Amino acid sequence: MFLLHGFCLSRVLFGSASTNCFNPVFLCLACDSLFKNLQRLLSYLFIFNRRKNAGILPSLEDLLFYTVAEGQEKIPAHKFLTALKATGLRTGDPRLKECMDTLKDTLKKTADGVTLDRHLFKKCVQSNIVLLTQAFRKKFVIPDFQSFTSHIDELYENAKNLSGGQVADYIPQLAKFSPDLWAVSLCTVDGQRHTVGDTKVPFCLQSCVKPLKYAVAVNDHGTQYVHSFIGKEPSGLRFNKLFLNEDDKPHNPMVNAGAIVCTSLLKVKEKAEDIVPKCVFSCTYCSCLISVFLQCFPEGTDMTSVLDLYFQLCSIEVTCESASVMAATLANGGICPITGERVLTPEAVRNTLSLMHSCGMYDFSGQFAFHVGLPAKSGVSGGILLVVPNVMGIVCWSPPLDKLGNSVRGIQFCLDLVELFNFHNYDNLRHFAKKHDPRREGGDQRVKSVINLLFAAYTGDVSALRRFALSSMDMEQRDYDSRTALHVAAAEGHIEVVRFLLEACKVNPSPRDRWGKTPMDEAMLFGHHDVVTILQQYQENYSLPAAPDGQERTEKSLDSLL
């Protein structure tokens, strides 16, 4: 505050850079103005301190209470918790532990055990006020989380209706799963979480563990050391083929050969107990013990221990909910979003996502990168670990697999996801017509769009209007008075703007605002007779579009917009 006022006062004293500022008369006036501003500043500071000491200025806790209470003097605890869940946060979030513990203890001491007044509410939330304020101000990566998750639920239901695929039966433990199981869970980089379906049913990670252990290896040893044993290129072969590249290395860490070598690089503090029956992988030892393949490992590697650990890692049991936090950690640059703890270096995460993008989906990797454009890793248990960098991690799980070993429902969900949202790595984030961007706050974006459109019409800026039309902006958007760009252009008498909106954009020539006025009424009121003539001529030939509301109209010719 003092810095701001100091800057203002210096401008009053010295004025602009012209020589007039050194005129004695001007200096006297400037000094007089300076003292007046100093007096006003001291007055403001006095009032500010009085209000602060009196508790008149609301704190963040007060503002949060007023937001949730909606004018009531007390709020039920369940209302606060419901509003909290609507933001995407959960009551079990580790970051909210102090708040939830205090809330629980406070409710035990209240008369009804249900409601909180302002004082008690402030006591409960003050330990986590920054996170809570961020949530209720919609400052998370997905501002309108409820709207976003409603779309996710629709995509889930669409994929649920799919049939086909076969449950993997070459591993007895996997063959026991029902083909009807289907779950989707997501976690954003801000810790917003959503689950739908059979998300609490545990399943084995299988190949979904490969990117995680590669990330740990790079985190521990660095990129150069790890890739002295493993390549970075797609193999073009089945994931379980033990082939090496021309440098006698496994092609990448996402195939079995590379994953086994990667396992040998992990720093294991204690010998893990066997959690998988030996019969499950005893036959695999034979195919692994190949003299050329053994040369890929660091010197002194105990192959038996490496293979034990490899199969144990593949057999780690997770749920969709817990696995989504792993995916979100990769999306968040290696920082766990619900604890704030850094578990992987940025270098390890970047390398992992790059390899997931090019090699993560077995023989479908190229198709997946083309259509979905996001890093992902699938496993024969039916899981797909999907990462939207800097936004969220998503885990889909359904046991039935296609002929390439990927979950049938999971693949469809991923395809539908990038069809609806602009999550594809190469989707344009500034100019898009059909896709939603959940990272933008819808209301604010629409307000900016309307302001830009109407201001261009007001100033007669046809070039700006042409850009808006080419970017598929709705040229019939209305402001709070239901006035359109055509209303504004007609009132200002901008003939070229009116002609462009009517002839190129094919807008309705006679929309009515909140007072029932049409653009022609505006033009007549302000005496723009040329505009009236244009509107009359166009109205004679205009007919409403045949397509009903909510459906996309026929694309306009680009030539008419240029």
Relative orientation angle of helices 118-125 and 60-69, to the nearest 10 degrees: 120
Say which residue, 74 or 240, is predicted with more confidence: 74
Average pLDDT value for residue range 332-347? 95
Q: Which of 52-61, 282-291, 297-306 has the lowest mean pLDDT?
A: 282-291
Q: CA dist 266 to 187, 218, 250, Å? A: 27, 9, 17
Say which residue, 467 or 343, is predicted with more confidence: 343
Phi, psi of 191, deg, nearest 5: 90, 10
Average pLDDT value for residue range 471-481? 88
Tell me which residue of 158, 121, 117, 150 sits closest to 136, measured CA to CA.
121
At CB < 8 A and 24+ separation, what contacts does 173-182 make? Answer: 173/204, 173/280, 174/204, 174/206, 174/380, 174/381, 174/399, 177/203, 177/381, 177/382, 177/399, 178/399, 179/398, 179/399, 179/400, 181/382, 181/397, 181/398, 181/399, 182/156, 182/397, 182/398, 182/409
**Confidence band (pLDDT; 50, 70, 90) for 278?**
very low
| Residues 372 and 364 sit within 8 Å (Cβ to Cβ) | no
Domain boundaries, the chain: 2-54, 60-136, 146-203+317-420, 208-314, 442-561
Q: Which amino acid is located at 465 in the chain? A: L
What local confidence, expressed as pLDDT, does residue 359 receive? 92
Query: Six-digit token pair at 7?
Result: 């800057």
Q: How many CB atoms lie within 10 A of CB 199?
A: 19
What local confidence, expressed as pLDDT, does residue 238 receive? 62
What local confidence, expressed as pLDDT, does residue 294 receive? 65
Is residue 287 over pLDDT 60?
no
Which CATH fold would you assign to the domain 146-203+317-420?
Beta-lactamase (3.40.710)
Class of domain 208-314 (CATH, top level): mainly alpha
Is residue 27 over pLDDT 50?
no
CA-CA distance, 347 to 222, in Å (whole number)?
Answer: 8
Is residue 436 over pLDDT 60?
yes
With a CB cutoff of 8 Å and minimum separation 6, the contacts of 467 are none
Is residue 267 over pLDDT 60?
yes
Say which residue, 544 or 481, is predicted with more confidence: 481
What local confidence, expressed as pLDDT, does residue 58 receive? 62
With a CB cutoff of 8 Å and minimum separation 6, the contacts of 177 are 167, 203, 381, 382, 399
What local confidence, expressed as pLDDT, does residue 443 receive? 57
Is residue 50 over pLDDT 70?
no
CA-CA distance, 498 to 505, in Å (whole number)?
Answer: 10
**Confidence band (pLDDT; 50, 70, 90) for 251?**
confident
What local confidence, expressed as pLDDT, does residue 38 receive? 54
**Confidence band (pLDDT; 50, 70, 90) for 560?**
very low
**Confidence band (pLDDT; 50, 70, 90) for 239?**
low
| Residues 509 and 475 sit within 8 Å (Cβ to Cβ) | no
What local confidence, expressed as pLDDT, does residue 304 receive? 84
Is residue 561 over pLDDT 80?
no
Q: What percentage of the chain exceeds 70 in pLDDT? A: 78
What local confidence, expressed as pLDDT, does residue 71 receive? 77
Which CATH fold would you assign to the domain 442-561?
1.25.40
- Considering the entire predicted model, what is its pTM? 0.71
Helix, strand and coil in the chain, % to nearest 5: 55, 10, 40
Q: What is the pLDDT of residues 197-230, one digit of tens each?
A: 999 999 999 999 999 999 999 999 999 999 999 9
Q: Which of 386-395, 436-445, 524-533, 551-560 has the lowest mean pLDDT?
A: 551-560
Query: Six-digit token pair at 28?
Result: 């006297």
Q: What is the pLDDT of residues 123-133, one digit of tens each?
A: 999 999 999 99
What local confidence, expressed as pLDDT, does residue 9 receive? 34
- Domain 60-136: CATH architecture, name and number where available: Orthogonal Bundle (1.10)
Q: What percentage of the chain exceeds 90 in pLDDT? A: 56
Sheet with 193-197: strands ordered across:
193-197, 183-188, 392-397, 383-388, 376-378
Average pLDDT value for residue range 503-509? 91
CA-CA distance, 413 to 60, in Å (whole number)?
Answer: 40
Q: If you compute the radius of gyration of the chain from its CA atoms, what whole number of angstroms results?
A: 32
What local confidence, expressed as pLDDT, does residue 271 receive? 54
Residue 448, sorted as left (phi over 0), alpha (psi -120 to 50) or beta, turns out to be: alpha
Average pLDDT value for residue range 265-270? 73
**Confidence band (pLDDT; 50, 70, 90) for 174?**
confident
Best mean pLDDT range from 20-29, 113-122, 255-264, 313-322: 313-322
| Residues 107 and 113 sit within 8 Å (Cβ to Cβ) | yes
Average pLDDT in the chain: 82
Torsion of CA 108, 114, 120, 125, to 10 degrees: 100
